[in-house]
């Protein structure tokens, strides 16, 4: 509960933060709400020598329409996402997911950019950005690039971000007309997911699946899109049996996690049950 010694910086501009990051690289950690990082530091499981707090950079906290997409600043809190009218209208999946992250205190402090960059394999937001087909903006001193959500999560606590890059924006397509849901299995409502399933569907006549994107968290070393499952349902008429049969493929090709809260067998089972329930709930929403 007593972290190692570290040096703290509170840059007021992105440029300044990037400069600090380019100097300290792997020895530095970005503080973006601190709901995960500070706990790890207090247990001395994370021991950064330099902490660069992004909380004082004004232009990283926004939710705004940008053409047919919605742009969310990386330092936007879960609470702001949960309460955003714009997102509720055009990208409700992010609202639904942010609403069940942690508890009120966590939602008031934690940020979407912090969660995604931290890449906890059981965090909620990664599932939602995967299912909504979002793109993530990585900025470094000499430029920027866009990373697709599917390519962003590499493994536990590891993303596609280079040591000198900062995630500054999440851009999600507007999903009007889509059916979306995020459901998670967790011992208590405030916990990390044992498995969390985000679903985004476009239904045609007779419940034919015209588009499907799913995000799975908690099951593996990283959040992922279950491609075999999506493929199995694409173009199909979504009835109870089709969904149940396809749900069995949610962990296909995945090495499923095991810890004291769930064995891998139970976790796989829950992934299937929650996948089926998520699709059914989304259809009925």
Partner 1 sequence: MLKLDEILVTRNWVGKPVRRKEDIRLVKGEAAYVDDLNMDCYQAAILRSPYAHARISRIDLTKAGALKGVVAVLTGQEVARETKPISARAITRPATQYVMAADKVRYVGEPVAAVVAEDRYIAEDALDLIEVEYEPLKPVVTIEDALKPDAPLVFEEAGSNVLMHDKMQHGDIEQAYREADLTLKEKFKVHRYSSTPLEPWAIIANYERASDSFVVWSNDQQHGRSLTNVCNTLGIPIHKLRLIVPDIGGGFGIKLALWPYIVILSLLAKKVSKPVKWIQTRREHLLAGSHAPDANVEIELALKKDGRILGLRITDIQNDGSFVHTAGIYGLIKFATMVGCYGIKATRAELLSIVTNKAPTVQNRGVGKPTMIFALERMVDIAAKRLGLDPSEIRLRNFVKPDQMPHTTPSGEIYESGDYPECLRKALRLVGYEESKKKRDDGRKTGKYIGIGISSGVEPGTSNLGYYYTARGLPEYTGNAEGAIVGIDYDGNVNVILGSVDSGQGHATTTAQVVADMLGISPERVSTANTMDSLISPFLGHSGVYSNKFNDVDLGAVIMATKKVRDKMLKIASHMLGASVAELKLKDGKVCLAKNEEKSVSFREIASLAYKRILLLPEGVEPGLKEIAYYKNPIAKLPNREDFNIQLTHSNSVHVVVVEVDVETGTVNFLRYVIVHDCGNQINPGIVEGMVIGSTVHGIGASLLEEFVYNEEGQLLSTTFMDYLKPTAIGVPKFELGHMESACPYTLLGTKAVGEGGSLPSLAAIANAVEDALSPFGVKVTSLPITPEKVLRAVRETKEI
Residues at the interface with partner 1 (CB under 8 A): 1-5, 39, 43-44, 103, 185, 187-192, 260-263, 266, 269-270, 273-274
- Give, as one character, the DSSP assignment of residue 193: P
Residue 278 Cβ vs partner 1, minimum distance, rounded to whole Å = 13
Least Å from the CB of residue 260 to partner 1: 5
Question: Which lies closer to partner 1 via its Cβ, residue 179 or residue 184?
Answer: 184
Q: Running DSSP on this structure, what letter comes out for residue 3?
A: P
How near is the Cβ of 194 to partner 1 at its closest, in Å? 8
Integer Cα distance of 211 and 135 in angstroms: 18
Minimum gap (Å) between residue 125 Cβ and partner 1: 17
Residue closer to partner 1 by CB (options 38, 71) is 38
- Shortest gap between Cβ of 259 and partner 1 (angstroms)? 8
For residues 185 and 246, which CB has a smaller minimum distance to partner 1 in the complex? 185
Between 109 and 178, CB nearer to partner 1 = 109
Smaller CB distance to partner 1: residue 2 or 240?
2
């Amino acid at each position: 509960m007593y972290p190692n010694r570290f040096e703290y910086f509170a840059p007021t501009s992105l440029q300044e933060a990037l400069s600090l990051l380019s100097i300290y690289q792997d020895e530095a950690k970005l503080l973006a709400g601190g709901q995960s990082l500070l706990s790890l530091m207090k247990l001395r499981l994370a021991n950064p020598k330099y902490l660069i707090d992004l909380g004082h950079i004004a232009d990283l906290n926004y939710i705004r329409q940008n053409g047919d997409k919605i742009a969310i600043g990386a330092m936007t809190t879960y609470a702001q996402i949960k309460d955003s009218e714009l997102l509720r209208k055009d990208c409700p999946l992010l609202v639904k997911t942010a609403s069940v992250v942690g508890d009120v205190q966590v939602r008031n402090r934690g940020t979407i950019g912090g969660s995604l960059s931290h890449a906890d394999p059981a965090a909620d937001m990664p599932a939602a950005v995967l299912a909504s087909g979002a793109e993530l903006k990585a900025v470094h001193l000499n430029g920027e690039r866009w990373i697709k959500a599917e390519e962003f999560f590499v493994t536990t606590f590891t993303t596609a971000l280079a040591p000198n890059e900062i995630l500054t924006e999440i851009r999600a397509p507007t999903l009007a007309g889509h059916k979306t849901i995020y459901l998670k299995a967790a011992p208590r409502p405030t916990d990390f997911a044992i498995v969390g399933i985000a679903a985004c569907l476009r239904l045609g006549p007779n419940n034919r699946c015209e588009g499907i994107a799913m995000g799975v968290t908690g099951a593996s070393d990283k959040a992922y899109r279950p491609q075999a499952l999506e493929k199995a349902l694409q173009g199909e008429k979504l009835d109870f049996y089709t969904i149940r049969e396809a749900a069995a493929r949610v962990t296909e090709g995945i090495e499923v996690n095991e810890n004291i809260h769930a064995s891998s067998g139970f976790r796989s089972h829950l992934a299937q049950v929650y996948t089926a329930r998520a699709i059914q709930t989304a259809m009925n929403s």
